[in-house]
Structure 1
Amino acid sequence: MRARIRAGDRQAFADLYEEHARPVYNHVLRLTGNWSTAEEVMSETFLTAWSHRERLEPEGGSLAPWLLGIATHKSYNANRGLRRRLAFLAHRPPPPAVPDFAEETAGRLDDSRRLAAVHAALSGLRRQEREVLALCVWSGLDYAQAAEALGVPVGTVRSRLSRARARLSRLSEEQQEHREHRERWEPRKTRGEGRSEAAFAALPLREENS
């Protein structure tokens, strides 16, 4: 497969897309928190992979680390661009309100809530920690594959993942303490409404499989 892709075999690249498009999309979604951005970055990832196919190492195992490494870099750039656009829009008058008549399913709404909670939790992590958490915990890469994707030593992956888990654990504890303090003064919430954002970060989002 590597040799065929390096040689510009379009059918081999089409097979690669069929196998890895959805995992790449899901990885980008976790890093960006936006469905439309994830679609754009996924497309950019495969365009970059095709244009830089000659840089692919001729020997190796799964091509997932190569693609997820490109996707991670593209996601970082997309997030930077989004922050710049938000800063620009913050200085402009808001657009007129438009009623939203779209019918959203309950599952889609729950995913939106979970995705927002995940990003609220991950915002307490450094970028490198978010990336290694997404690669190892959600995308299922082992330490060596994550190191290949990020272009760092295996030991760096281990230390970043350890720090990320420790930070999320502390955040979860802080949220739990804050919630317990707040609930002393507020009516009791219904079952399932008190889950911490950091706890959501340990759960997989509903992934697209088709």
Structure 2
Amino acid sequence: MFASIGNAAPSAAATDDATLIARSVAEPEIFAQLYDRYAADLHRYVLRRLGAETADDVVGETFLIAFRQRHRYDTGRPHARPWLYGIAANLIGKHRRTELRAYRALARTGVDPVAESWSDRVDGQVTAAASRAPLAAALRALSDGDRHVLLLIAWADLSYDEVATALAIPLGTVRSRLNRARKKMRAALGDNNPALTSEETDHG
């Protein structure tokens, strides 16, 4: 349904997301361009959280929901990325047990078939294999809300404003959740402090 549609729209790269979505109400095939723009990045994010098998389903469902709700999109927002990650966050929440089970297994053994799909991809943030188990345990200990905020910023590279939009929460709540999550991560990891707890870069 969302395969690339080639030259269905001229100058697609120059068309902002809001315009594309608005046009797709009358021309549904155009919506596939939104998939082309964001599916790969979204898949990498969901993969880290839920594993490869579940990621395929979640990303597919994310774009299906977005397609069905496209007529309600706020066209005052030119970039649809926060909207898509917000839909994905809701779907990830429905797979909470899968995510927590992966963290628990990785924290216990250091190896888990589900978690392996993302644990090997945090090398830029956690270079030592020994850091994976405490990282998983620390992530598992976070509340769902704090975990969403932390990982949307650390793994999806959303700004504070984008996270607020994605999760439909005030900007101040984003900052308080992030600060709380970072404190808990630092306390749990000690010297094995991955970049995801760093405050050197302000995404706001």
> Could you say which TM-score interval applies, normalised by the shorter chain?
0.5 to 0.7
For 1:108 and 1:123, how far apart are their aligned partners in 2?
15
Deviations 1:122-155 (A, max 9, x none): 0021111110111112211111111000000000
Among residues 143, 154, 167, which one is paired with 1:126 in the alignment?
A: 143
| Structure with higher RCO (Cα < 8 A, 6+ apart) | 1
Using the TM superposition, give the Cα deviation of residue 38 of structure 1 relative to its aligned residue in structure 2, in angstroms.
0.9
Using the TM superposition, give the Cα deviation of residue 110 of structure 1 relative to its aligned residue in structure 2, in angstroms.
4.1
Residues 118, 201 of structure 1: 8 Å contact kept: no
The alignment yields a C-alpha RMSD, in angstroms, of: 3.1
Query: Counterpart in 1 of 2:177?
Result: 160
For 2:165 and 2:118, how far apart are their aligned partners in 1?
34
Counterpart AA for 1:51 = R
Counterpart AA for 2:151 = A
Query: Counterpart in 2 of 1:35?
Result: 52
Using the TM superposition, give the Cα deviation of residue 5 of structure 1 relative to its aligned residue in structure 2, in angstroms.
1.9
Q: Which structure has the larger Rg?
A: 1
Structure-2-length-normalised TM-score: 0.67
Structure-1-length-normalised TM-score: 0.65
For 1:109 and 1:167, how far apart are their aligned partners in 2?
20
Q: How does 1:29-68 map to 2 (within 5 A)?
A: 29-32=47-50, 34-68=51-85
Q: How does 1:129-140 map to 2 (within 5 A)?
A: 129-140=146-157
Among residues 20, 44, 64, which one is paired with 1:26 in the alignment?
A: 44
Residues 19, 78 of structure 2: 8 Å contact kept: no
For 2:182 and 2:147, how far apart are their aligned partners in 1?
10
Using the TM superposition, give the Cα deviation of residue 109 of structure 1 relative to its aligned residue in structure 2, in angstroms.
8.5
Matched-pair identity in %: 34
Structure 2 portions without partners, runs of 5+: 1-16, 103-116, 123-128, 199-204
